[in-house]
Amino acid sequence: MSRSQTYDIAIIGGGVNGCAIARDAAGRGLSVFLSEARDLAGATSSASTKLFHGGLRYLEYYDFALVRHALIERELLLRAMPHIAHPLRFVLPYHSGLRPAWLLRLGLFIYDHLDFRPGHRKMLPGTTTIDLGTDPAGAPLKPGYKKGFEYSDGWVDDARLVVLNAMDAAQRGAEIAVRTRTTAARREKDHWIVSLQDTHSGQSRQIAARALVNAGGPWVGNILQDVLDIETSDHIRLVRGSHIVVNRLFEHDRAYIFQQGDGRIIFAIPYEDDFTLIGTTDVDHDAPLSEIACSPDEAEYLCRAASEYFRAEITAKDIVWTYSGVRPLYDNGASSASAVTRDYVLKREGAAGQAPLLNVFGGKITTHRHLAYEAMQKLAPDFALNRKDWTRGLPLPGGDFKRGSLAAEQDALLRRYPFLEGKQAHRLLRAYGTLADKVLGQATSIDDLGRDFGAGLTEAEIRYMIDREWARSTEDILWRRSKLGLRLSAKQTKALDTFVTGYVATQFGTAAASADTPMAPPQKPEQPQIQPTPPDSPPDGAGARLEMPGQKAG
Contact residues toward ligand FAD (CB under 6 A) are 12-18, 35-38, 42-45, 47-51, 53, 181-182, 215-219, 223, 227, 241, 280, 325-328, 360, 363-366, 523, 525
144 by Cβ neighbours in 10 Å (0-12 / 13-18 / 19+) ranks as exposed
Comparison of 25 and 488: residue with beta carbon closer to ligand FAD? 25
Least spacing, CB of residue 82 vs ligand FAD, in Å: 18
Comparison of 95 and 364: residue with beta carbon closer to ligand FAD? 364
Least spacing, CB of residue 262 vs ligand FAD, in Å: 17
Measured from the Cβ of residue 75, the count of other Cβ atoms closer than 10 Å reads 19
DSSP string, 353-393: TSPPEEEEE---GGGHHHHHHHHHHHHHHHHT-----TTTT
Least spacing, CB of residue 187 vs ligand FAD, in Å: 17
Comparison of 327 and 481: residue with beta carbon closer to ligand FAD? 327
Coil, strand or helix: which one is 497?
helix
C-alpha angle 94/264/547, rounded to 5°?
Answer: 110
Cβ atoms of 23 and 165 closer than 8 Å: yes
Comparison of 179 and 426: residue with beta carbon closer to ligand FAD? 179
Cβ atoms of 344 and 330 closer than 8 Å: yes
Coil, strand or helix: which one is 427?
helix
Provide the residue type at 204 as one letter: S
Comparison of 341 and 366: residue with beta carbon closer to ligand FAD? 366
Least spacing, CB of residue 361 vs ligand FAD, in Å: 9
Distances (CA, A) of 506 to 472, 497, 501: 12, 14, 9
Comparison of 36 and 461: residue with beta carbon closer to ligand FAD? 36
Q: Report the C-alpha gap between 552 and 432 in whole angstroms.
A: 34
Least spacing, CB of residue 26 vs ligand FAD, in Å: 17
Listed residue (537, 454, 527) closest to 497, CA to CA: 454
Q: Report the C-alpha gap between 549 and 528 in whole angstroms.
A: 14
Least spacing, CB of residue 156 vs ligand FAD, in Å: 8
Least spacing, CB of residue 248 vs ligand FAD, in Å: 20
Comparison of 9 and 429: residue with beta carbon closer to ligand FAD? 9
Cβ atoms of 418 and 440 closer than 8 Å: no
Q: Report the C-alpha gap between 41 and 159 in whole angstroms.
A: 5
Comparison of 181 and 200: residue with beta carbon closer to ligand FAD? 181
Least spacing, CB of residue 524 vs ligand FAD, in Å: 8
Distances (CA, A) of 509 to 435, 458, 506: 27, 22, 5
Provide the residue type at 148 as one letter: G
Q: Report the C-alpha gap between 412 and 408 in whole angstroms.
A: 6
Least spacing, CB of residue 445 vs ligand FAD, in Å: 39
Provide the residue type at 114 as one letter: L
Comparison of 426 and 524: residue with beta carbon closer to ligand FAD? 524
Comparison of 251 and 286: residue with beta carbon closer to ligand FAD? 286
Cβ atoms of 69 and 369 closer than 8 Å: no
Provide the residue type at 239 as one letter: V
Q: Report the C-alpha gap between 265 and 306 in whole angstroms.
A: 10
Coil, strand or helix: which one is 66?
helix
Comparison of 47 and 449: residue with beta carbon closer to ligand FAD? 47
Least spacing, CB of residue 502 vs ligand FAD, in Å: 26
Least spacing, CB of residue 289 vs ligand FAD, in Å: 9
Q: Count CA atoms within 13 Å of residue 342 on its CB side.
A: 27
Least spacing, CB of residue 16 vs ligand FAD, in Å: 5
**Largest Cα span, the chain:** 69
Q: Report the C-alpha gap between 256 and 241 in whole angstroms.
A: 18
Measured from the Cβ of residue 134, the count of other Cβ atoms closer than 10 Å reads 10
Q: Report the C-alpha gap between 440 and 449 in whole angstroms.
A: 7
Comparison of 219 and 417: residue with beta carbon closer to ligand FAD? 219
Cβ atoms of 15 and 162 closer than 8 Å: yes
Least spacing, CB of residue 112 vs ligand FAD, in Å: 19
Comparison of 36 and 318: residue with beta carbon closer to ligand FAD? 36
